[in-house]
Structure 1
Amino acid sequence: MSKYFPFSAIVGQSEMKAALLIAAVDRSIGGVMVFGDRGTGKSTAVRALAALLPPIRVVAGSRYNADPDRRADYAADPAAAKGKAIDGPVPFVDLPLGASEDRVVGALDLEAALTQGIKRFEPGLLARANRGFLYIDEINLLEDHIVDLLLDVAASGENVVEREGLSVRHPARVVLVGSGNPEEGELRPQLLDRFGLSVEVRTPDNLKERILVVKRRDAFDRDPAAFAAEWAAEDAKVLDSIAAARALLPQVTVDDSVLEASSRLCMAVGADGLRGELTMLRAARATAALDGDAHVDEGHLIEVAAMALRHRLRRNPLDDAGSTARIERALAEQFGLGERTKSAA
């Protein structure tokens, strides 16, 4: 019986699905932040994508989902040196809102210390999530120092723990996905900027779309296996597109004219730093790969601009328009799009 709602059966929320697919193709994007109303399918989409992805090769017995082809992963995991390579699911780990720092990064195994007198490291959630997804619901309510720690680890791909005389370094290559409702508290701009992409989801205001959402969810709840089988072919197409995009990604090229357009757009909207331009470049390249294009054009740039920049804009007291509206206005001026862009409002 299927545990997860099929990714391809999710109604609407095109921007959120696009951002997750981009992150699945290029892990260097830096994770995805999803802001929106409760009950709009945020966690459903992330779990569906993780379940959809093909199995990964891991070392049997490894506590860190060690990659058989990366000998460096074995240093922190002696069991990995003896294990065989097997197929395993892409890890998906939920981080509870009240999780302590020790539970996240790992700590001294107290039972072994008290009963055997030995110092042994007990891996945390970051170890379990290595090479997969770490999902944090209501991230805006999480303590800032935990969020900062997670973002540092996600950026470096490594978790370093110093505890009670222990010094442990282990791989933690995770795709960080956070979600939250802005009405319940904002995430600090310094932390928000560290996420690669930011998307907004809203409760559907179209009657037909709302009815379709309810019908599909009800059908899944009544018979998950039958519903998953009905959408298996569509999910297979999504999986094939991800695999093809990963293979094509290293060959995707970007002309200087596109880079210039990207920089001009960032300057026009007042994006802080250069991280927005780098993220927009990577996201546009991944989007091109998903489209089967070996060359990034302005259309790909337009498609990812709002996702890459909306959370990096300085507040302008003379402009009360939202960040998405400001980006769409800049896109219209730079690319002559009028009122129409591919980004979601």
Structure 2
Amino acid sequence: MTTTLQAPPKKNRRLVFPFTAIVGQEQMKLALLLNVIDPKIGGVMIMGDRGTGKSTTIRALADLLPEISVVAGDPFNSDPNDMEMMGEELREKVENNEHIDTVQKKVPMIDLPLGATEDRVCGTIDIEKALSEGVKAFEPGLLAKANRGILYVDEVNLLDDHLVDVLLDSAASGWNTVEREGISIRHPARFVLVGSGNPEEGELRPQLLDRFGMHAEIRTVKDPDLRVQIVEQRAEFDQDPQGFLANYDEQQKALQQKLVDAQNLLPQITIDYEIRVKVSEICSDLDVDGLRGDIVTNRAAKAIAAFEGRTEVTVDDIRRVMPLCLRHRLRKDPLESIDSGYKVEKAVDRVFGLDVE
């Protein structure tokens, strides 16, 4: 049995720049929205110049998302309607028909600091308490807090490779396992992993980069008129955040509803067999290792169709998402630069017969 409680009033809640007001950076925005519609796409790696609004956009996306229903007092933001994604203790309560309170809360947005230790990220087990009292004393980490939300790692290319591996494993499986001295704790950790960085400070190893679902490249806006518009918008927001947010309220609500509708429509989306064969042909032609490229492209194409309210994937959907899904998988040498998307676009045009020449 569950009851829904009102969440406590939000006191001095930090005002966030609205997602619909962000100008430009279409690749990054599209990749983020598609991952929200289908988190199984596998996250986004955003590489680009400093000061291009990466952090602002990700915080704006988290703020845009509708509130979620969680079990009150649960450290993992467990969904009261999904027993498959509950911790052991909570699942036992549900199976025993114990009373469970639920609350509505904002989608969590967790920043992972560069200096974070593995214990801080994964959580720790209090061995002393476990041995003396016979209970699994677990101190949840950042992965627990990020469950059903967004985990953002700025400068992910400077993070220890082992930690990146842990994050990617959890993001892919939806679970985090902590083992120490023969004691094991497993909890849900399903989140959208978003990494960002500046390519001047080094790239991730190709093996790790390949495990990010999508890769968006962003550049500093060159158009003077657009730059002025961005500067003026920011000044307007800083001067009167409430008024600025009110101007975008309708657009924010419309986009929020569009995302909810897309999530509901996603299971109904189909991709024609011929299109799927051609997607795999492109991945093969580009010598993409493994099958992640094929899988992610299919998922992203379904997500963009759902976002636009259609039930069938088109060739245009493939053309729009494939560069984001494959560009970072073409690099064989760590010293090689990541393709801008040109090679992928040419391959798509060739295989689908879209060449204008």
Partner of 1:295: 312
Which range moves more in the overlay, 291-300 or 64-73? 64-73
1:182 alignment partner in structure 2? 199
For residues 148-200 of structure 1, the C-alpha deviation after alignment (integer angstroms, 9 at most, x for no partner) is 01101111100110124531110001110000111101101111111111100
Q: Is the 8 A contact 2:213 2:325 kept in 1?
A: yes
| Count of equivalent residues | 339
Partner of 2:213: 196
Residue 248 (str. 1) matches residue 258 (str. 2): no
Shift of 1:336: 4.8
Distance 1:321 1:310, change over 3 A: closer
Change (3 A) 1:335 1:119: closer
1:237 and 2:254 matched:
yes
Classify 1:281/1:82 alpha carbon distance in 2 versus 1 (closer, same or farther; 3 Å): same
Sequence identity percentage: 51
The counterpart of 2:171, out of the listed 151, 154, 160, is 154
> Which residue of the other structure, out of 311, 321, 327, is the alignment partner of 2:328?
311
Instruction: Tell me the equivalent position of 2:113.
Output: 96
What is the root-mean-square deviation in Å for CA atoms of aligned residues? 2.6
Query: CA 1:273–1:287 in 2, change beyond 3 Å: closer, same or farther?
Result: same
Distance in 2 of aligned mates of 1:167 and 1:306: 40
Q: Which of 23, 27, 38 is equivalent to 1:26?
A: 38
Whole-angstrom distance in 1 between the partners of 2:257 and 2:63: 14
Quote the Cα distance in structure 1 between the aligned partners of 2:135 and 2:79.
Answer: 28
- In 2 relative to 1, CA 75–297 (structure 1 residues): closer, same or farther, beyond 3 Å? same
- 1:33 counterpart SS class: strand
Q: Distance in 1 between matches of 2:183 and 2:227?
A: 53
Scaled by the length of structure 1, the TM-score of the pair is: 0.91
Q: Which runs of 5+ in 1 are unaligned?
A: 341-345
Contact 1:157–1:172 (CA<8 Å) still a contact in 2?
yes
Contact in 2 for aligned 1:153/1:172 (Cα 8 Å): yes
Does the residue aligned with 1:99 lie in a helix, a strand or coil?
coil
Evaluate the alpha carbon distance shift between residue 133 and residue 111 of structure 1 in structure 2; reply closer, same or farther with a 3 A threshold.
Answer: farther
SS in 1 for 2:176: strand
**Distance (Å, rounded) in 1 between the aligned partners of 2:331 and 2:310:** 33
Question: What CA deviation, in whole Å up to 9, does each residue of 1:189-212 have, x standing for no partner?
Answer: 111111111100000011111111
Q: Which amino acid counterpart does residue 104 of structure 2 have in structure 1?
A: D
SS of residue in 1 equivalent to 2:204:
coil
Q: 1:115 to 1:89 in 2, by over 3 A?
A: farther
How far apart in 1 are the matches of 2:260 and 2:185?
Answer: 34
Is 1:275 the counterpart of 2:275 in the alignment? no
Q: d(CA) in 2 for partners of 1:269 and 1:323?
A: 14
Counterpart secondary structure, 1:4: coil
Which whole-Å deviations, capped at 9, do the CAs of 1:86-144 have from their partners, x for residues lacking one? 11110110000000000000003489689989761100000000010000000000000
Alpha-carbon distance change, 64 to 321 in structure 1, aligned in 2, over 3 angstroms: closer
Separation (CA, whole Å) in 2 of partners of 1:277 and 1:120: 42
Contact 2:124 2:138 in 1 (8 A): yes
Asked if 1:59 corresponds to 2:64, the answer is: no
* Matched AA of 1:28: K
The question of 1:211 aligning with 2:228 is answered yes
Normalising by the residue count of structure 2, what TM-score does the alignment of the two structures yield? 0.88
2:88: which partner in 1? Answer: 75
Rate the CA distance shift 1:252–1:48 in 2: closer, same or farther, 3 A.
same
The one-character-per-residue Cα deviations of 1:312-337 (angstroms, maximum 9, x if unpaired) are 114489x9993522112223333455
Report how far residue 2 of structure 1 moved.
5.3
> Which 10-residue stretch deviates more, 82-91 or 175-184?
82-91
Q: Which residue of 2 aligns with 1:36?
A: 48
Matched, 1:169 2:186: yes
* 1:212/1:111 CA distance change after superposition, 3 Å: farther
Deviation per CA, 1:5-36: give whole Å up to 9, x if none. Answer: 10000000011100111001001101111010
**Preserved CA contact (<8 Å) 1:108 1:164:** no
Cα distance between partner residues in 2 of 1:320 and 1:49:
29
